[in-house]
Structure 1
Amino acid sequence: MPLPSIKDQFAALIATPSVSCTQPHWDQSNRAVIELLAAWLGDLGFTCEIQEVSPGKANLLATYGSGPGGLVLAGHSDTVPFDAALWQSDPLRLSEQDDRWVGLGVCDMKGFFPLVIEAVRGLIDQPFKQPLLILATCDEESSMAGARALADAGRPIGRAAVIGEPTGLKPVRLHKGVMMDRIDILGQSGHSSDPTLGRSALEAMHDAMGVLRSLRGQWQAEYNNPQFSVPQPTLNLGCIHGGDNPNRICGQCSLEFDLRPLPGMDPEVLRAAIRSKLQPLAEQHRVQIDYAPLFAEVPPFEQGADSELVRLAEKLTGHVAQSVAFGTEAPYFQRLGCETIVLGPGDIDCAHQPGEFLELARIEPMLGILRQLIQHYCLKSQGA
């Protein structure tokens, strides 16, 4: 069967749901996406290995050529949840609007894989002196479980790694860390006509959110790094769940939030500060407060400005490598010995939004960059 066109690959991937989410009712398997990619890359001659991470969740390691060194082109196969009612088109159907392809994952970041396949298919008949590894991970949008599994396995994967997250065709060598934490408050339900019959978890959570907002202001006054477009640490109150009826005192409430520390901010010190503020609230409201990470934190990332990969990416793109406020899987690839950058064609401003898009004008420039990266790391002798 002939390999589908680049547009048909985009369409097939967008039409294959693979949401990862901290909320179980949203969370989905990514196996169908992994199997699509494995079929296409297998037809091109890649050796495909599917790494089971957890039930329904898997990574794909597709290798062309052999030996040490080489290039890793990496991305995640999952997407965030979506609000279908807020989209002007079907989020799971690729559409073209105003010289853009629109659909869930075109930018962040299923669309990177058809671009990689298109770039390599024109070079596949040349002798590869170093291997090319195309890597698709699971659960980047939630737990980073796929990248963690790779790092924990400890197997060297390449000399250089490029992660195709949306950076507007500009190389990124620096980003913040990511912490996702949860506060659970257990009070006592009761009839709303008499406040003494219960202990409101929702009112206690209101004060807990005030604590988090106060700490956010304190940290933003204390920490600043001008290398970032958002130079302060951020704290986002992401989702809250509690109670069941207006005429019942709320007996249970949960909050999940996201904290993005700058390099130099210790996650455990930040968590200790939060705990110290929550304990008095528990006593004041006579409730139980449990606070813990949802997942292990993602470390901050920095690749040296003078590294071979950064210098090459700056030459190919015409842009000095920069920093971003969002987190990626880059620190895990560094743990495996790869020089690592983040470089992709999309715009982060439209990621996680209704109407997510990829500018068609970005496709050819990205293909050119990918082909030159493959030529440098795979078709030339190592060190050339």
Structure 2
Amino acid sequence: DMKGFFALAIEAVRPLLDQPFQQPLLILATCDEESSMAGARALAAASRPLGRAVVIGEPTGLKPIRLHKGVMMERIDILGQSGHSSDPALGHSALEAMQDVMGELRGLRAQWQREFNNPQFSVPQPTLNLGCIHGGDNPNRICGQCALEFDLRPLPGMDPEQLREAIRGKLLPLALKHQVRIDYGPLFPAVPPFEQKADAELVRLAERLTGHSAQAVAFGTEAPYLQQLGCETLVLGPGDIDCAHQPGEHLELARIEPTVALLRQLIQHYCLTRSEDVQRR
């Protein structure tokens, strides 16, 4: 859902190459954008400034996005003691311990949804989805191992590490109660929530050029990492997220020219116009 944006960005800049650029233009490709975001993380860790403004070409229907939720994908493993099911005293059920773990996670979800709310999102609360569970190997055997993977989407203003600490605080008493070992950790590092100020120059410009007010989405992007480098950051690209990650993923031909025209206007504003001319506007 991102590759088409490169071709459109290149097409947007081609007719401008013979004009005197007042500021540099960078078309940036990063690795592993769909999962670990390792490329964007490495850029943020290097702390080298990229530029004044960054546009990330995720599919937004050419509507500017200035907020998105974070993405945390986590795993809990429970190691109990297997034994013959005819005598429960022979073992410690990892599956029954996981049942209580899921109850605590649902309790935290309810607590966080009471405490945090942002009406700019279509789903205004943080979400926690219990995605998949695996455990046990036979009906007549006490379950010795169980694993749960879940997805947590925090709102801007929620700290992923604080959320993890709250979860850890619920797991320790359950490990003691059920006499099991509980291991908890991320499947990959969390993508932080993202928010660009509504009055930022890039947000105001994108709203004017597109005719749409800046919005919020539930999916994660590399925006928080590029923002860490001091760039005003916005998510804005052709296509629809509902079409992404599918065998029939595509970009309608009718979206190409409007995207090229919009990117060209952004390039002209930031790269071809002198900074003092921008300030006078």
TM-score normalised by structure 2 residue count = 0.88
Aligned to 1:97: none
Aligned to 1:118: 11
Kindly report which structure 2 residues correspond to 1:94-105, keeping only aligned pairs within 5 A, or say none: none
Larger % of strand: which?
1
Looking at structure 1, the residues matched to 276 and 190 of structure 2 have their Cα atoms a distance apart, in angstroms, of 35
Offset at 1:191?
Answer: 4.3
Q: For structure 1, which segment, 330-339 or 136-145, has the greater mean C-alpha deviation from structure 2 after superposition?
A: 136-145
Q: Evaluate the alpha carbon distance shift between residue 193 and residue 135 of structure 1 in structure 2; reply closer, same or farther with a 3 A threshold.
A: farther
SS of 2:251's equivalent in the other structure is strand
Looking at structure 1, the residues matched to 144 and 33 of structure 2 have their Cα atoms a distance apart, in angstroms, of 33
Looking at structure 1, the residues matched to 40 and 249 of structure 2 have their Cα atoms a distance apart, in angstroms, of 24
Aligned to 2:255: 362
Match of 1:220 among 100, 107, 113: 113
Kindly report which structure 2 residues correspond to 1:340-359, keeping only aligned pairs within 5 A, or say none: 340-359=233-252
SS of 1:120's equivalent in the other structure is helix
Paired residues of 2:67 and 2:156 also in contact (CA < 8 A): no
Kindly report which structure 2 residues correspond to 1:223-302, keeping only aligned pairs within 5 A, or say none: 223-244=116-137, 248-302=141-195
Identity %: 82
Q: Evaluate the alpha carbon distance shift between residue 124 and residue 350 of structure 1 in structure 2; reply closer, same or farther with a 3 A threshold.
A: same
Residue 127 in 1 paired to residue 20 in 2? yes
Aligned to 2:94: 201
Q: For structure 1, which segment, 203-212 or 189-198, has the greater mean C-alpha deviation from structure 2 after superposition?
A: 189-198
Looking at structure 1, the residues matched to 251 and 135 of structure 2 have their Cα atoms a distance apart, in angstroms, of 37
Deviations 1:316-345 (A, max 9, x none): 111111122222111111111111101011
SS of 2:11's equivalent in the other structure is helix
SS of 1:357's equivalent in the other structure is coil
Looking at structure 2, the residues matched to 208 and 139 of structure 1 have their Cα atoms a distance apart, in angstroms, of 32
Offset at 1:248?
Answer: 4.4
Aligned length: 277
SS of 1:111's equivalent in the other structure is helix
Counterpart code for 1:324: V
Deviations 1:67-113 (A, max 9, x none): xxxxxxxxxxxxxxxxxxxxxxxxxxxxxxxxxxxxxxxxx222222
Looking at structure 2, the residues matched to 361 and 190 of structure 1 have their Cα atoms a distance apart, in angstroms, of 63
SS of 1:265's equivalent in the other structure is coil
Kindly report which structure 2 residues correspond to 1:42-61, keeping only aligned pairs within 5 A, or say none: none
Looking at structure 1, the residues matched to 247 and 98 of structure 2 have their Cα atoms a distance apart, in angstroms, of 30
Residue 186 in 1 paired to residue 76 in 2? no
SS of 1:314's equivalent in the other structure is helix
TM-score normalised by structure 1 residue count = 0.66
SS of 2:149's equivalent in the other structure is strand
Counterpart code for 1:368: A
Looking at structure 2, the residues matched to 353 and 201 of structure 1 have their Cα atoms a distance apart, in angstroms, of 36
Match of 1:150 among 23, 33, 43: 43
Looking at structure 1, the residues matched to 173 and 211 of structure 2 have their Cα atoms a distance apart, in angstroms, of 54
Aligned to 2:274: 381
Residue 311 in 1 paired to residue 186 in 2? no
Q: Can you give the 5+ residue segments of structure 2 that lack an aligned partner in the other structure?
A: none
Looking at structure 2, the residues matched to 235 and 247 of structure 1 have their Cα atoms a distance apart, in angstroms, of 32
SS of 2:216's equivalent in the other structure is strand
Residue 337 in 1 paired to residue 230 in 2? yes
Match of 1:165 among 49, 58, 62: 58
Aligned to 1:18: none
Kindly report which structure 2 residues correspond to 1:77-92, keeping only aligned pairs within 5 A, or say none: none
Looking at structure 1, the residues matched to 5 and 133 of structure 2 have their Cα atoms a distance apart, in angstroms, of 33
SS of 2:275's equivalent in the other structure is coil
Counterpart code for 1:331: P
Q: Evaluate the alpha carbon distance shift between residue 352 and residue 237 of structure 1 in structure 2; reply closer, same or farther with a 3 A threshold.
A: farther
Counterpart code for 1:292: G
Looking at structure 2, the residues matched to 151 and 203 of structure 1 have their Cα atoms a distance apart, in angstroms, of 42
Aligned to 1:137: 30
Q: For structure 1, which segment, 190-199 or 253-262, has the greater mean C-alpha deviation from structure 2 after superposition?
A: 190-199
Residue 174 in 1 paired to residue 67 in 2? yes
Q: Which has the higher contact order (CA 8 A, sep 6+)?
A: 2
Looking at structure 1, the residues matched to 76 and 276 of structure 2 have their Cα atoms a distance apart, in angstroms, of 51
Counterpart code for 2:179: R
Larger % of helix: which?
2
Superposed CA RMSD in Å reads 2.2
Q: Evaluate the alpha carbon distance shift between residue 266 and residue 154 of structure 1 in structure 2; reply closer, same or farther with a 3 A threshold.
A: closer
Deviations 1:132-163 (A, max 9, x none): 11111122322222111000111111111000
